[in-house]
Structure 1
């Protein structure tokens, strides 16, 4: 998710329009390689329905590699697209590991709610109860951290952080350092007065979780989520560990972290050059994920994320029935004048009927969603965060799939 409401709403609206355009013209990309689907269900031609959408988005948004997972009540389909490394015949496979960005926030949020269920934390607790150093912490609740309504400045919007990421991608950031940067800036608004997506919220929440449990966040996530759900391919890297388990694709970024603060869109001539293949993106695979830490550091596969989002949305295993229902009911529309738009609450997003979260970090972009009514699961993993003209490729692919499966 982007850091500003206006930009976020804009690319969502554009996303729905763009995927319809891609699907209607049947865009094909001769540069894209296709691996054999792991499952090709008889009687349900998901391949014919979905592949043109994926190919069209990848072509227009110059996405080097992707994995798409679709599960319906009657069939499961996985497909890998493209190459792990630009310029090489190195096909992505459905089992590849990806950085999954802000889907991590749902994991941290789930642990916080588990602590609420255990009576060790309360949604209306003021942040100052645990961190007296937070300005106006007595007015910020735990629920507002989860709902992105605290008003706290997102540290990654600081130009100095973006510049450091460009200049020193190996830098190991400390969580307290990230929090200090976020708290050093003027809040966007008074607590509870508006919605503003901020990584500072999740960093602070994870530090409170560590304080309450006495364990690092990676251990907490493994003990409370990954192991109980059998997510053997999902990990949270140790601080400073920039490696991704093998096999894994490279991750790419158009422009720079600094330029992306203003806009991820390149100039018209640069956009044309990227699509012609004469202006390749930058390989940012080795960017140390400590800069995002608990707000987006998890690593997973499409199949693991699919199992996770089904449990996150469709079951009571993680939170119990009462708290699970409270979480699902908490989502509020980002645009109060249009309740049909994206909703957010207690660490979950809803994209129409799909509930889950997306993730976007330099090099990778992720969508995971589950529709509990239709029993439809969609996971999309891409190896570029933004297209050269802007827009989030995994989200646009997912939107296109939903529309296609709904017969639109």
Structure 2
């Protein structure tokens, strides 16, 4: 059984970001044995690490996570915290180098390459998508920019019940991008181009095919050459569809229910939820489900350590020139009625109250990745049960509580 509800299917929820971490072991001079780890700092850039630790540990416990990890980085130093284990019944704690599926954080990779191609003159952000694909209905009025900022109106293929049923029937199926896009284009649009906002994986899947068309390379190779290698993200990859297993060390990922059953109602029903809280209901292991259905919108793999590197590059525009970073960060409300503290969205990038990044969820994995370009504070949180029994995105929920409490 599998679940496709998430930032992938549902859209981005409010959260925020703060920072990355690791504990440094000191080696005594002239001695063969390592000294005890250095004690964690009690405060970093005005942030109480004890408070962050308490919020993280309590949040993971309250949400009944098998395992979770937090990585915090500030200009003054780093802090990390681990909860539970990488596998139910196991003893290995999550770590900064544990591989997870990052879900919709992959969208920021796709968006960054599209912006690089615009810098290089290989496309324009206001090009109609019909320049690259003749199969997109009304494609002459849908621009590359609208695909990036989720204002195309195109139907989100991961909301399709037929796709959900097919994934339930065969979680190991290898999906071709053309199959996914066909599902998205077969349904009526939500609205006319640029007349609203609707988070749609169809947008990002189309952008992925445009990248491969212009570069004449797979996304696996393009991301490696343009993003991961320049930034030194050696534990990050966009897997090929036929070989998408997680590298070791890895965290297993757990979820409840089926795609069809949870398409519109991610939470367990009342009796199931009671059993879950009592420890009588075990989730399903989705670690080795094939994520090719997420393609350019969410099939990526990384670690907390590498995601912190990526968050800082996103916030600072490291891989873009200033003009395109400025366009990318022209954030807009996702709804006219959205509250003032709600996340806003730019060009394949979200703004969580001054922290730039994204959230991601695949069956069994939820991650929050963001950095504040003004303060230099970066926060990465991931969890290995997604969503929670009551339908929450755990990493996003924990990150929000930290940001709201410590600023």
Identify the residue that residue 252 of structure 2 maps to in structure 1.
250
Q: Which has the higher contact order (CA 8 A, sep 6+)?
A: 2
Counterpart in the other structure of 1:67:
69
* Separation in structure 1 between the aligned mates of residue 39 and residue 271 of structure 2, nearest angstrom: 40
Q: Is the 8 A contact 1:127 1:141 kept in 2?
A: yes
Q: Does 1:167 align with 2:163?
A: no
Counterpart contact for 1:218–1:238, Cα < 8 Å = yes
Counterpart of 2:35 in structure 1 is: none
The equivalent of 1:44 in structure 2 is 43
Question: Whole-Å Cα distance in 1 between the matches of residues 56 and 340 of structure 2?
Answer: 28
Partner of 2:307: 305
Q: Using structure 1 for the length normalisation, give the TM-score.
A: 0.89
Corresponding pairs, count: 379
Contact 1:156 1:199 in 2 (8 A): yes
For structure 2, the 5+ residue unaligned runs are 1-6, 17-21, 25-37
Contact 2:197/2:335 (<8 A) preserved: no
Q: 1-side partners of 2:56 and 2:207: how far apart?
A: 36
Q: Which residue pairs with 1:187 in the alignment?
A: 189
Q: CA deviation at 1:4?
A: 4.5
Structure 1 residues 3-82: aligned runs within 5 Å:
3-4=9-10, 12=14, 37=23, 40-44=39-43, 46-82=48-84
* Cα drift, residue 295 of structure 1: 0.7
Corresponding residue to 1:276 among 256, 273, 278: 278
Secondary structure of residue in 2 paired with 1:262: coil
**Superposition pairs of residues 322-361 of structure 1, within 5 angstroms:** 322-328=323-329, 330-337=330-337, 338-361=339-362
RMSD of aligned residue pairs (Cα, Å): 1.8
Kindly state the Cα deviation for residue 122 of structure 1 after the two structures are TM-superposed.
0.5
Using the TM superposition, give the Cα deviation of residue 52 of structure 1 relative to its aligned residue in structure 2, in angstroms: 2.3
SS at match of 1:264: coil
TM-score by length of 2: 0.89
Partner of 1:178: 180
Deviations 1:8-55 (A, max 9, x none): 66xx4xx79xxxxxxxxxxxxxxxxxxx95575434285421222222
Q: Who is 2:320 aligned against?
A: 319
Partner of 1:396: 397
8 Å Cα contact 2:42-2:49 kept in structure 1 = no
Helix, strand or coil for the counterpart of 1:173? coil
Distance (Å, rounded) in 2 between the aligned partners of 1:43 and 1:392: 28
Superposed structure 1 runs of 4+ greater than 6 Å apart: none
1:27 equivalent in structure 2: none
Cα distance change, pair 253–119 in 1 and its aligned pair in 2 (3 A) = same
Structure 1 residue 2: deviation in Å?
5.4
Task: Report the alpha carbon displacement of residue 80 of structure 1 after superposing the two structures with TM.
Answer: 2.0
* Gap runs ≥5 in structure 1: 17-35
Are 1:148 and 1:195, in contact at CA under 8 Å, matched by a contact in 2? yes
When residues 64 and 37 of structure 1 are mapped into structure 2, their CA distance, relative to the original with a 3 A threshold, is farther
Match of 2:159 in 1: 157
Distance 1:289 1:297 in 2: 5
After TM superposition, give the deviation of residue 85 of structure 1 in Å: 1.3
Structure 2 residue aligned with 1:30? none
Question: Is 1:213 aligned to residue 212 of structure 2?
Answer: no
In the alignment, what sits opposite 1:235? 237
- After the TM superposition, which residues 103-118 of structure 1 pair with which residues of structure 2 at under 5 Å, given as runs? 103-118=105-120
Residue matched to 1:28? none
Q: Deviations over 1:363-392 (max 9, x none)?
A: 101100111122110001111221111111
Matches within 5 A, 1:79-118: 79-118=81-120
Could you tell me which residue of structure 2 aligns to residue 133 of structure 1?
Answer: 135
- Tell whether the 8 Å contact from 2:42 to 2:50 is kept in structure 1 after alignment: no
Contact 1:44–1:75, Cα closer than 8 Å, also in 2: no
SS where residue 102 of structure 1 aligns? helix
Preserved contact between residue 267 and residue 388 of structure 2 (Cα < 8 Å): yes
The answer (yes or no) to whether the contact 1:82–1:92 under 8 Å persists in 2 is yes
Higher helix share: 1
Partner of 1:19: none
CA distance in 2, matches of 1:238, 1:306: 23
- Inter-partner Cα distance in structure 1 for 2:270 and 2:59: 18
In structure 1, C-alpha distance between the alignment counterparts of 2:390 and 2:123, rounded to whole Å: 43
